[in-house]
């Protein structure tokens, strides 16, 4: 916290819509959430649930044809209203973004070392030698065993795990208050996944807030303080790690957990709804085994524990 100002990120009634050939696709609807500074919040859900859209919306990196309504506030600023110049200051300096595919997010023609030192030279005005030394130390700190070789490599010469580390090293320079990581363990083998998880644990210990967008429920359970479950553009449940993993209430959350490799890989039957033609009622009802009276009505979030909320009238009664 800077002085008395909270460095939480607050999202209120955020909706995101894209035009398409079949109508307007409402990929995120009325999402309200508080991301607490210094804590890790995991966003989990199936593909297409809106997890990455939410992270990208906070960074204001959605395509130009996306229509956003609602509010995202941070450090007393309304991120949907500030100028592109102000937003650029926040990106990287205050909120770091680790993209889903870090190799593609880097400049393919520029050596890794130059990409890392540019961050220091541009943001802190450091000279060449000071930036180089600091970049090498940072690469080593993030577990790259041969930082000199990595420094002089091009992005395509890095493995997936190395690229994740380089991106994390770059994004924690100089020292942002927040990191948003989009599927940081996707496509990595189990050993590298564990190493990347250890690296995020280190970042957490350094007191940084993090928004962890992931399919990897084991990673969310290991790292997160809070977990938010998204489905078809809506939040269906949120709570502490224990609430979600030990005492899940929403039928979708239970299905998601049962579909995890560690819990038997039992898939949730059916498919998510067509977001360009949404029907009334509970968004999950076409796939819910408990669907019955009352489910034809739109559901609202209800409190079922200290920080535990669920959007299902049947399970919260």
Q: Which residues bind ligand SF4 (CB under 6 A)?
A: 251, 282, 284-285, 288, 290-291, 295, 299, 312-315
Shortest spacing between CB 281 and ligand SF4, in angstroms: 8
For ligand SF4, the closer CB: 208 or 285: 285
Biggest CA–CA distance in the chain, Å, is 69
Distance CA(304)–CA(99), nearest Å, equals 34
Shortest spacing between CB 24 and ligand SF4, in angstroms: 24
Distance CA(57)–CA(39), nearest Å, equals 20
Shortest spacing between CB 269 and ligand SF4, in angstroms: 13
For ligand SF4, the closer CB: 207 or 270: 270
- Inter-residue contact 225 to 36 (CB < 8 Å): yes
Main-chain dihedrals φ then ψ at residue 243, nearest 5 degrees? -55, -50
Distance CA(252)–CA(312), nearest Å, equals 10
For ligand SF4, the closer CB: 198 or 296: 296
Shortest spacing between CB 282 and ligand SF4, in angstroms: 3
- Inter-residue contact 223 to 208 (CB < 8 Å): no
For ligand SF4, the closer CB: 2 or 303: 303
For ligand SF4, the closer CB: 69 or 300: 300
CA angle, 304 then 306 then 308, to 5°: 50
For ligand SF4, the closer CB: 176 or 251: 251
| 101 Cβ contact partners less than 8 Å away, ≥ 6 residues apart | none
CA angle, 287 then 292 then 293, to 5°: 145
Shortest spacing between CB 128 and ligand SF4, in angstroms: 58
Q: Collapsing DSSP states into helix, strand and coil, what is residue 62?
A: coil
What kind and span of H or E run contains 99? none
- The pair of structure tokens assigned to 290 is 């408990």
For ligand SF4, the closer CB: 84 or 280: 280
For ligand SF4, the closer CB: 98 or 283: 283
Main-chain dihedrals φ then ψ at residue 238, nearest 5 degrees? -150, 150
- Inter-residue contact 27 to 18 (CB < 8 Å): yes
Shortest spacing between CB 130 and ligand SF4, in angstroms: 56
Shortest spacing between CB 26 and ligand SF4, in angstroms: 18
Shortest spacing between CB 309 and ligand SF4, in angstroms: 14
> Residue 118: how many CB atoms within 10 A of its CB?
15
- Inter-residue contact 228 to 41 (CB < 8 Å): yes
Main-chain dihedrals φ then ψ at residue 182, nearest 5 degrees? -100, 110
């Amino acid at each position: 916290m800077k002085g008395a100002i909270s460095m939480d990120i607050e999202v209120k009634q955020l909706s995101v819509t894209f035009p398409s050939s079949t109508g307007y696709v409402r990929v995120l609807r009325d999402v309200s959430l508080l991301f607490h500074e210094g804590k890790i919040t995991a966003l989990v859900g199936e593909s297409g649930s809106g997890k990455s859209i939410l992270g990208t919306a906070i960074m204001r990196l959605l395509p130009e044809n996306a229509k956003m309504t609602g509010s995202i506030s941070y450090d007393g600023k309304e991120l949907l209203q500030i100028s592109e110049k102000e937003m650029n200051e926040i990106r990287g300096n205050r909120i770091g973004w680790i993209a889903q595919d870090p190799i593609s997010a880097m400049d393919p023609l520029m050596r890794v070392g130059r990409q890392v030192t540019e961050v220091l030279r541009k943001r802190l005005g450091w000279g060449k030698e000071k930036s180089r030394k600091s970049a090498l130390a940072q690469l080593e700190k993030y577990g790259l065993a041969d930082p000199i070789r990595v420094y002089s490599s091009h992005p395509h010469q890095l493995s997936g795990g190395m690229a994740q580390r380089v991106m994390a090293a770059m994004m924690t320079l100089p020292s942002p208050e927040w990191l948003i990581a989009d599927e940081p363990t996707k496509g990595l083998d189990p050993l590298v996944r564990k190493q990347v998880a250890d690296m995020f644990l280190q970042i957490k210990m350094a007191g940084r807030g993090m928004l962890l967008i992931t399919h990897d429920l084991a990673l969310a359970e290991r790292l997160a303080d809070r977990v938010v479950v998204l489905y078809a553009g809506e939040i269906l449940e949120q709570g502490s790690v224990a609430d979600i993993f030990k005492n899940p209430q929403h039928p979708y959350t239970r299905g998601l957990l049962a579909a995890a490799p560690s819990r038997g890989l039992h898939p949730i039957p059916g498919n998510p709804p067509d977001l360009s033609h949404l029907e009334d009622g509970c968004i999950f009802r076409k796939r819910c085994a408990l669907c019955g009276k009352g489910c034809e009505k739109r559901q609202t979030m209800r409190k079922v524990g200290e920080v535990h909320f669920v959007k299902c009238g049947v399970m919260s009664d």
